[in-house]
Amino acid sequence: MNYLLDSNVVSDFYDKNSSNHHEIGHRLGSLSDEDQVFISIIALYELEYGYNNAPEDKKSVVRKKINEAKEDFGILPLTAEGSILFGRLKKSLVDKRNLKKENAKKHNIDIILASTAIINSCILISADRIYTEIKQQEPTLKTDNWTSNT
């Protein structure tokens, strides 16, 4: 199986104080050698934003987490094929929710991650509820929640 970790899952995995750290670590440890775990290049963008927002005394800890994530997981790029799926999924979500333009933007990253997971035949690992709604529009999206947030 292939797995794509949402940014929040990555953050929780590298934060030993997170209530989800143990469960995510357990789930990762239970995977077989044939399983592959990825993060999206978008997750790295988000982690870098977190680094730049961190107080100076925390920056070295955040940088260490980013470097570990880059070493521990494969990084999936954005693709032209994924962009086509993104456009379709976003239009569907906007129409279903009757979202105004400014409100539609806040789900871009979630929809990009969903598109990336589908294109790369990955199970998207996230506790975000938006993916349940996206799955209603695109049943090929497979998700799992490795956190205690149910």
Domain contains 149: no
**148 pLDDT exceeds 80?**
no
Tracing tokens 């991650």 back to the chain, one arrives at 113
Percent of the chain with pLDDT over 70: 98
Cα 10 from Cα 139, distance rounded (Å): 25
Give CB contacts under 8 A, 24+ apart, made by 22-25: 23/146, 23/147, 23/148, 24/146, 24/147
Residue type at 100 in one-letter notation: K
Provide the pLDDT for residue 94. 85
Give residue 117's domain range: 2-144
Provide the pLDDT for residue 80. 97
Domain contains 33: yes
Domain contains 117: yes
Pairing of strands 74-76, 2-5: unpaired
Domain contains 101: yes
Domain contains 20: yes
Domain CATH code at residue 135: 3.40.50.1010
Query: Considering its fold, how many domains does the chain have in total?
Result: 1
Provide the pLDDT for residue 95. 86
Provide the pLDDT for residue 52. 97
Per the model's pLDDT, the better-predicted residue between 105 and 148 turns out to be 105
